Amino acid sequence: MKRIPYILLFFALGAVSCSKVDNLSAPSCTITGSTVDEGTGNTLQTEIGGGGTRLKLLETSYDSAPVPLYFQSMQDGTFNNTKVFAATYKVSVEGPFVPLVRTDNSGNTISDSSQTIQLKSTATLTFKVQPYLRVEWVGDPVVNADTTVTVKVRVTRGTADTAYQQDLTDINLYVSNTKYDGNNNYDPRYSTLTSYSGSTGTALLGQTVTITTKGGALAPQDTYLRVGARISAGLNQYNYTTPVSITLQH
């Protein structure tokens, strides 16, 4: 029983030292907006998760060379983060497009289209970018007699900058049962993945490419189709079409 007074003393000491609550209120500012293809004006389709477009925030009010903060864009190229601290940020986007911040081969910055904002409540930002590739549907998907599906797409370059015109390496038709369809989420039984070496893929630029799902009849359920293509630049991320949904009935 002798211990109890000591325990009480310990807690009493704790109470005395905690007279000031060192708590900053939760972040409540918003950064919202979109990444837009400069050529078409459409938001730039990407992949959810680490392999897609992301926002990079540098809190320059804190430090001239801060540790960057990142958050991920949504699949359709829009972004929205409602839990950001009020501060001055230098904001840019990273993804499958000509980088906003470019350096030469000795590390000098040669161009920088980051946007600097003084975030007080909400900032709406639009980043105009040149995608490496534009991947567009040509017509609607066609369900064949054997319940495979054939799609047509056209892939073109999104930039005239020859530094970002490497050979096209992959054109993939992804099949999934959710709309979050992409290189990190697809059904390998039906998706048709094609890699190209040398300039064989590049020769397909501007052409209508026809791709059919593989593995026989698709299952009778909601199915989402999406085509991704990439060049070997940056982190080799994919540019995508919009996802399209088809319902298969047997």
Partner 1 sequence: MKKYTIIIMVFGLAAIVAGSGCRKLDVPPKSIIQDQDVFGSSQGIVAYMARLYSELPIEDFRYSPQRGLNMFWIISPTPATTGEALSRDQTGSMQENPGPDWNIWSGCYTAIRDCDYFIQTIPTYAANYNADTVKRWIGEAYFIRGMTYFALVKRFGGVPLVNKVLNYKPGSAVDSLQVPRASEKATWDQVDADLTFAINNLPEAWTSDGKNGSRANKYVAAAFESRAMLYAGTTAKYNTTTLFDASHNQVCGMPTSEAAAYFQKSLSAAKMLDGHYSLYLSGWSATDKSAQYQNFVNLFFDAASPENVFIREYQYPNSVHGYDAYNVPRQLIGSNGYSSEVNPTLDFVELFDGLPKNPDGTLTTLDAGGHYLLFDNTMDLFANAEPRLRGTVILPGDQFKGQAIDIRRGIYTGAVGGGISPLLPAGSRAQYPTTNLVTSSTASQTAYKLPNGNLMNPAGLSGVFTGDQTCAISGFSVRKWLNPNLPTAQVLENNETQTWIEMRYAEVLLNRAEAEAELVSLGQGGADLQTDAMAVVNQVRTRAGAIPWTDPGTTPIDTIRKERRKELAFENKTYWDLRRWRIFSKEQNGRIYRILMPFFAANAGPNGQYFFDARTDERNDVYTYDPRWYYEQLPGNAISKSPNVIQNPGF
Binding site for partner 1 (CB under 8 A): 50-51, 63, 65-68, 94, 103, 105-108, 170, 172, 183-184, 188-189, 191, 193, 195, 214-216, 232, 235-236
> Largest Cα–Cα distance of the chain, in whole Å?
87
Minimum CB separation from partner 1 for residue 65, in Å?
Answer: 5
In this structure, what token pair is assigned to residue 141? 């998907």
Q: How far is the CB of 233 from partner 1 (least distance, A)?
A: 9
> Which C-beta is closer to partner 1: that of 29 or that of 241?
241
CB of 140 to partner 1, least distance (A): 25
CB nearer to partner 1: pick between 86 and 235 = 235
Query: What does the alpha-carbon distance between residue 103 and residue 238 come to, in Å, rounded to a whole number?
Result: 22
**Least CB distance to partner 1 at residue 175 (A):** 12
| Closest CB to partner 1 among residues 29, 227 | 227
> What span, in angstroms and rounded, lies between the C-alpha atoms of 7 and 10?
5
In this complex, which beta carbon is closest to partner 1, that of residue 172 or of residue 241? 172
Q: Give the pair of three-digit tokens for residue 54.
A: 């992301």
In the structure encoding, which two tokens stand for residue 112, read together? 């920088």
Q: What tokens were used for 11?
A: 């807690």
Query: CB of 172: closest distance to partner 1 in angstroms?
Result: 7
Residue 201 CB coordination number (10 Å):
21
The nearer residue to partner 1, 108 or 162, going by C-beta atoms, is 108
Q: How far is the CB of 150 from partner 1 (least distance, A)?
A: 18
Listed residue (201, 161, 181, 192) closest to 241, CA to CA: 181
- Sorted by sequence, the CB contacts under 8 Å of residue 169 that are 6+ apart come out as 195, 196, 197, 201, 230, 231, 232, 236
Q: Nearer to partner 1 by C-beta: 188 or 206?
A: 188
